[in-house]
């Protein structure tokens, strides 16, 4: 491992004044910057220390050059440290170091701060503090003239704060230690802090998904190398080694004939065995194109590389092997051609297929577990379930610090002087185990990764170089590893039952490396903890209830790109097709809350893309989409600043503003409108936030938007007041309804006001065939829709005419609620999907949620409710899980035949058609789509494989389009979908209505 140059920094003084009788700490920073994490050791000299003795109960020893800890007479030592501002990072360990001038056969014990009574250097035995019962660490035999070190990490240590520690004797033999007054500064007591950070690593590195099946292996059917200094030679085709380098320039070309794959490719690896030449600047791998054969290909007629680099390993050890991830180039059966291209003058050689079958180039391909479409009425299926287990603890031991336990560091070191250990506590897991993987995140590159041993469970506090866990046997090895790469060991044969399972990582060469530890995860330094990934297959279960073919799959479409893409909203296109809003990461490995590019994509009815439009402007978020009868696309969202979406800058928003945009049927921007909110108290103008809740259109192409705001806004008809000045405490805002004409001109606006803390939240919106506007949401007390105030909290549904004239409203009393969707039936009645906690009043009775809690702490139940054409309460279906678990609807639409279709997270077995989905309570809840008649009778329910998002619905022809996003693998009716580069992709599938 490469260590950077050590740099010594000295901080004198600190924040805050010194206490009377107390000197000021001195802090020395010794910096060691590795390729792995940035690790700094901060050394803090005691700012005050003293000891007290029962033999001299009124004497103070704060000016003494030494301190005594013992029992004959009884003596205790007190030390105080002040921690200055530390380098950026996280404190992972704290160690107290004191120098023993006269040793002891049984060293002292370190304790935490005193329970009461402060101390300073004038303290005596009679005025001493009562020490804490918090035992921190102890020492054994202490030789004369040696350092004692205590792990005191459990004491709170933070910047700009004091830390007190006490030393108390364990045995009768006393020990004399140097104090902060000792004439040799190097021997004074020290508090050593390890501060670690990960500035050069992604904070949320992508975790590879686990493949349940072993790989299929394909040996190269042709391989060769060509050289620029022999441009007409084809001799490389019969050579036993394949050479790539830049002196002279040489390339390796490989062909594999992939046949017989039973399912979609989930992972593909090119494995090469190195010959005598390794490299510190290994080649890169690319896909290639162009016809060639190993018997005739030369430098002059060689194939050309295509696309970006597939993979590269910089460090390669002679006579080892190397794996390159080439998944992006292997998508199914057929010919796969790959090339290796030099990245340095350091040449490297690999064994060819002419060398031996054992060392020939191989392509390893993993696919989804073979499935067939379920043949029975309930679509019986088995599900692969992944359970992730983080270490109970992990640690490494160091030959150069043989008495120290590194069980709190953010790294696990493995090199010629360090061995790492991991200990897992595996709980019982459901189903049949298919595969168990140990995944580790490499912080450095190496030409040869460590071997893995099965080991005995261990205590992290007692582990050291002299007291290592017993290693039982080796069972795996790694080849070259690159920085910021997840590596994995197959431990299926070692983890066969619940219980403690420990492993040791032992260096395989002098070229060591380090991995992120579980403490890097818990310390928020790097979310890349070691993990056991247990892949199990469930028992068979029904995934469908109803009458076939309703609810069956008509088509499926995956939208994949190198960057992660996540769904936001979807809507139907009149005449067939659908439009999707999505957000795409702007840089690889960014977090979901980083800057995103907003994308609007119009799909044809068969799922193909008609057009796609990207909006990379910063501080913009597209929220909702709908399509007019003429095919124009309306989008509503939020923004900050004054972005230009294609028709000039929007009004400057100091806080969050709101925009509405119209795209033509071909995707061109037609117009944009922007709005901001404010509150003027007479001296200061406060910029207030706005938010978009829902968007709909009518037969004339108008845009109707609901959302929230504080203070005032102006949509074009003059100042509109919220009734709440600006955000404060836990108060929620009030809502607006605004209607814009087809050309973006203002039509009318309405405010929904509740003076209570809950405000009024107009979450769902629909426009019927008569162009009436129906809104659903939640409200606090005191709201007045138009026929007097309503003094109760509750769910509400209200209706306005096309011109904004109030028609009717209904408030259904309940303390805590959430509205998920509203639709209007052909007769003008309304169906709403909602969730609540507490007691819901509907139809003359009260529906109680499971374990109601007046402070919103209990689980939430889901409901479907139906109102008549003028708001009368008709019927309600209540869904309650046992054992208690919250239930929420995600979306609600009306299909082309007038049936209701809902998406939800789990609880499919409660919908009235019998058990459906995996048995028992599983986590995460399975995405579910269900259909009901207009009278709320269940028609069918479909439980799907796990997705990473809610499901958005849009009616389309004879079915409904379901849109979500997934990262990893998703199985539908025997077909596997695998996300591109293991990142988040969009998935659209159509279910029969």
Those residues whose C-beta lies under 8 Å from the C-beta of residue 356, and which sit 6 or more positions away, are: none
Distance CA 166, CA 164 (A): 7
Q: Are 541 and 381 in contact (CB under 8 A)?
A: yes
Q: Are 609 and 624 in contact (CB under 8 A)?
A: no
The pLDDT tens digits for 375-385 are: 889 999 988 88
What is the pLDDT at residue 586?
79
What is the pLDDT at residue 921?
58
Identify the residue with better confidence: 16 or 634: 634
The pLDDT tens digits for 395-414 are: 999 999 898 889 988 899 99
The pLDDT tens digits for 482-500 are: 888 899 999 999 999 999 9
Q: Are 339 and 232 in contact (CB under 8 A)?
A: no
Q: Are 275 and 353 in contact (CB under 8 A)?
A: no
What is the pLDDT at residue 115?
54
Question: Residues 977, 978, 983, CA angle at the centre, nearest 5°?
Answer: 135
Longest dimension (CA), the chain: 98
The pLDDT tens digits for 615-633 are: 999 999 999 999 999 999 9
**361 and 397 together in one domain:** no
What is the pLDDT at residue 646?
97
Does residue 881 form part of some domain? no
What is the pLDDT at residue 360?
96
Neighbours of 81 (CB within 10 A): 27
Closest CA to 537 of 369, 405, 303, 420: 369
Residue-averaged pLDDT of the chain: 90
List the structure tokens of 595: 């800057």
The pLDDT tens digits for 58-83 are: 999 999 999 999 998 999 999 999 98
List the structure tokens of 679: 């509150």
The pLDDT tens digits for 574-615 are: 989 999 999 998 776 666 667 899 999 999 988 999 999 999
What is the pLDDT at residue 562?
77
Distance CA 707, CA 594 (A): 24
Does residue 454 form part of some domain? yes
Percent of the chain with pLDDT over 70: 93
Does residue 246 form part of some domain? yes
What is the pLDDT at residue 922?
57
Does 654 score more than 80 pLDDT? yes
Distance CA 33, CA 4 (A): 5
**263 and 406 together in one domain:** no
Does residue 553 form part of some domain? no
Q: Are 906 and 879 in contact (CB under 8 A)?
A: no
Residue 31, CA distances (Å) to 9, 193, 196 in order:
8, 12, 10
**Which residues sit opposite 989 in a β-bridge?**
556, 962
Q: Are 142 and 175 in contact (CB under 8 A)?
A: yes
Does 419 score more than 80 pLDDT? yes
Distance CA 710, CA 688 (A): 6
Does residue 984 form part of some domain? no
Q: Band of the pLDDT at 11, cuts 50, 70, 90?
A: very low
Residue 279, CA distances (Å) to 98, 306, 715, 743 in order:
46, 24, 66, 65
What is the pLDDT at residue 560?
78
Does 839 score more than 50 pLDDT? yes
What is the pLDDT at residue 344?
86
The pLDDT tens digits for 737-778 are: 999 999 999 999 999 999 999 999 999 999 999 999 999 999
Does 33 score more than 80 pLDDT? no
Q: Are 773 and 795 in contact (CB under 8 A)?
A: no
Does residue 113 form part of some domain? yes
Distance CA 785, CA 774 (A): 12
Does residue 302 form part of some domain? yes
The answer to which of 42-51, 657-666, 740-749 has the lowest mean pLDDT is 42-51
Q: What is the mean pLDDT of residues 519-537?
A: 91
**Which residues sit opposite 286 in a β-bridge?**
339
The alpha carbon torsion through 175, 181, 186, 192 (nearest 10 deg) reads: 80
**297 and 414 together in one domain:** no
**354 and 480 together in one domain:** no
What is the pLDDT at residue 196?
82
Domain boundary among 308, 333, 367: 367
Does 316 score more than 80 pLDDT? yes
List the structure tokens of 153: 């990490």
**Which residues sit opposite 334 in a β-bridge?**
258
List the structure tokens of 958: 């004879």
Does 662 score more than 60 pLDDT? yes
What is the pLDDT at residue 820?
98
Does 1 score more than 50 pLDDT? no
**294 and 335 together in one domain:** yes
Q: Are 938 and 911 in contact (CB under 8 A)?
A: yes
- DSSP assignments along 456-491, one per residue: ----TTT--SSSPPPEEEEEE----B-TTEEEEEE-
Does 882 score more than 90 pLDDT? no
**43 and 118 together in one domain:** yes
What is the pLDDT at residue 53?
95
The rounded radius of gyration (Å) of the Cα atoms in the chain is 34
Does 668 score more than 80 pLDDT? yes
What is the pLDDT at residue 866?
99
Q: Range of 490's domain?
A: 387-537
**259 and 295 together in one domain:** yes
What is the pLDDT at residue 13?
26
Those residues whose C-beta lies under 8 Å from the C-beta of residue 8, and which sit 6 or more positions away, are: 28, 29, 30
- DSSP assignments along 520-549, one per residue: HHHTTS-S---EEEEEEEPPPEE-EEESTT
Domain boundary among 338, 367, 396: 367
The answer to which of 189-203, 551-565, 719-733, 859-873 has the lowest mean pLDDT is 189-203
Does residue 155 form part of some domain? yes
**342 and 488 together in one domain:** no
Q: Give me the residue label for tokens 């359970």.
A: 387
Domain total in the chain = 3
List the structure tokens of 931: 């259909």
CATH number of the domain enclosing 414: 2.60.120
**296 and 392 together in one domain:** no
Predicted TM-score (pTM) of the model is 0.80
**397 and 514 together in one domain:** yes
Does 267 score more than 70 pLDDT? yes
Identify the residue with better confidence: 247 or 543: 543
The pLDDT tens digits for 72-124 are: 899 999 999 998 877 777 888 889 999 999 999 889 999 887 656 689 999 99
**179 and 226 together in one domain:** no
Distance CA 442, CA 413 (A): 10
What count of residues does the chain have?
993
The pLDDT tens digits for 908-963 are: 888 999 999 887 655 668 899 999 999 999 999 999 998 889 999 999 989 999 99
Element of type H or E holding 518: helix 518-522
**31 and 88 together in one domain:** yes
Distance CA 771, CA 802 (A): 5
């Amino acid at each position: 491992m490469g260590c950077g140059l050590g740099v010594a920094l000295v901080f004198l003084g600190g924040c805050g004044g010194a206490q009377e009788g107390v000197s000021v700490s001195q802090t020395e920073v010794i910096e060691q910057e590795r390729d792995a994490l940035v690790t700094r050791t901060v050394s803090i000299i005691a700012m005050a220390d003293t000891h007290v003795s029962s033999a001299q109960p009124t004497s103070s020893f704060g000016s003494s050059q030494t301190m005594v800890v013992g029992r004959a007479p009884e003596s205790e030592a007190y030390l105080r440290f002040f921690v200055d501002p530390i380098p950026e990072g996280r404190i992972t360990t704290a160690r107290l170091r004191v120098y023993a001038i006269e040793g002891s056969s049984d060293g002292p014990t370190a304790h935490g701060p005193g329970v009461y009574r402060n101390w300073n250097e004038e303290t005596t035995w009679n005025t001493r503090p009562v020490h804490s019962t918090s035992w921190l660490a102890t020492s054994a035999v202490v030789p004369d003239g040696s350092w004692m070190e205590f792990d005191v990490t459990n004491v709170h240590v933070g910047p700009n704060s004091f830390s007190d520690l006490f030393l108390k004797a364990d045995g009768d033999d006393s020990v004399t230690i140097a104090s902060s007054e000792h004439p040799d500064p190097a021997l004074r007591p020290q508090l050593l802090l390890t501060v670690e950070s990960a500035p050069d690593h992604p904070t949320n590195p992508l975790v590879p998904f686990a493949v349940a099946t072993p790989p299929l292996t394909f040996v190269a059917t042709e391989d060769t190398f060509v050289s620029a200094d022999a441009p007409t030679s084809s001799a490389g085709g019969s050579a036993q080694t394949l050479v790539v380098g830049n002196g002279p320039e040489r390339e390796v070309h490989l062909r594999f004939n992939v046949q017989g794959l039973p399912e979609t490719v989930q992972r593909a690896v090119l494995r090469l065995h190195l010959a005598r030449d390794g490299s510190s600047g290994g080649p890169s791998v690319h896909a290639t194109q162009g016809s060639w054969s190993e018997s005739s290909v030369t430098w002059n007629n060689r194939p050309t590389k295509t696309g970006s680099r597939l993979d590269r390993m910089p460090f390669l050890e002679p006579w080892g092997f190397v794996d390159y991830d080439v998944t992006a180039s292997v998508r199914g059966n057929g010919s796969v051609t790959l090339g290796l291209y030099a990245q340095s003058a350091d040449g490297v050689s690999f064994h060819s297929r002419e060398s031996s079958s054992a060392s020939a180039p191989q392509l390893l391909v993993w696919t989804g577990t073979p499935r067939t479409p379920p043949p029975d009425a309930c679509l019986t299926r088995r599900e692969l379930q992944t359970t992730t287990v983080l270490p109970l603890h992990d640690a490494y031991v160091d030959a150069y610090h043989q008495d120290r336990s590194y069980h709190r560091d953010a790294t696990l070191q493995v090199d010629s002087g360090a061995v790492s250990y991991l200990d897992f506590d595996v709980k019982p897991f459901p189903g049949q185990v298919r595969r168990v993987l140990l995944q580790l995140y490499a912080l450095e590159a190496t030409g040869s990764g460590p071997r893995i041993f099965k080991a005995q469970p261990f205590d992290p506090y007692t582990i050291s170089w002299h007291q290592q866990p017993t290693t039982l046997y080796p069972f795996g090895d790694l080849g070259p590893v690159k920085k910021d790469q997840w590596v994995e060991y197959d431990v299926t044969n070692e983890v066969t039952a619940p219980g403690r399972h420990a492993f040791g990582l032992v260096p395989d060469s002098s070229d060591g490396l380090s991995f992120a530890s579980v403490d890097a995860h818990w310390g928020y330094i790097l979310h890349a903890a070691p993990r056991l990934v247990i892949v199990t297959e469930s028992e068979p279960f029904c995934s469908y209830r109803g009458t076939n073919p309703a609810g069956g799959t008509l088509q499926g479409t995956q939208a994949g790109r190198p960057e992660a893409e996540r769904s936001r909203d979807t809507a139907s296109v009149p005449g067939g097709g659908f439009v999707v809003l999505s957000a795409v990461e702007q840089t690889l490995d960014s977090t979901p809350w980083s800057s995103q590019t907003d994308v609007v994509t119009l799909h044809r009815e068969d799922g193909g893309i008609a057009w796609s439009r990207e909006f990379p402007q910063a501080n913009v978020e597209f929220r909702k989409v709908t399509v007019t009868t003429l095919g124009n696309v309306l989008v509503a969202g939020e923004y900050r600043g004054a972005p230009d979406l294609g028709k000039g800058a929007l009004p400057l928003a100091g806080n969050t503003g709101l925009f509405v945009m119209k795209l033509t049927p071909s995707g061109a921007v037609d117009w944009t409108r922007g709005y901001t909110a404010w509150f003027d108290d007479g001296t200061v103008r406060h910029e207030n936030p706005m938010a978009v809740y829902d968007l709909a259109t009518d037969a004339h192409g108008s845009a109707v938007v609901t959302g929230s705001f504080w203070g005032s806004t102006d949509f074009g008809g003059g100042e509109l007041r919220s009734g709440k000045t600006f955000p404060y405490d836990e108060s929620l805002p009030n809502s607006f309804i605004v209607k814009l004409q087809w050309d973006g001109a203002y039509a009318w606006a309405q405010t929904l006001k509740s003076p209570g803390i809950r405000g009024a939240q107009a979450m769902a919106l629909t426009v019927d065939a008569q162009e009436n506007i129906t809104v659903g949401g939640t409200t606090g007390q005191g709201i007045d829709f138009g026929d007097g105030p309503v003094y109760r909290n509750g769910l509400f549904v209200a209706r306005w005419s096309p011109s904004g004239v109030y028609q009717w409203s209904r408030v259904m009393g309940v303390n805590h609620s959430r509205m998920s969707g509203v639709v209007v039936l052909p007769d003008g009645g309304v169906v709403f999907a909602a969730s609540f906690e507490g007691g819901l009043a509907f139809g003359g009775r009260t529906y109680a949620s499971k374990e109601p809690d007046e402070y919103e702490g209990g689980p939430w139940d889901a409901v479907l409710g139906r109102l008549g054409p003028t708001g009368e309460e008709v019927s309600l279906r209540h869904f309650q899980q046992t054992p208690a678990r919250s239930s929420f609807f995600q979306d609600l639409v009306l299909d082309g035949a007038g049936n209701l279709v809902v998406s939800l997270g789990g609880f499919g077995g409660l919908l009235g058609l019998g058990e459906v989905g995996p048995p028992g309570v599983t986590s995460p809840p399975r995405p579910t789509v269900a259909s009901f008649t207009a009278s709320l009778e269940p028609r069918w329910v479909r439980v799907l494989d796990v997705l990473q998002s809610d499901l958005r619905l849009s009616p389309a022809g004879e079915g409904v389009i379901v849109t979500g996003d997934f990262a990893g693998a998703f199985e539908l009716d025997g077909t596997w979908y695998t996300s591109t580069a293991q990142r988040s992709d969009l998935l659209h599938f159509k279910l029969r209505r």
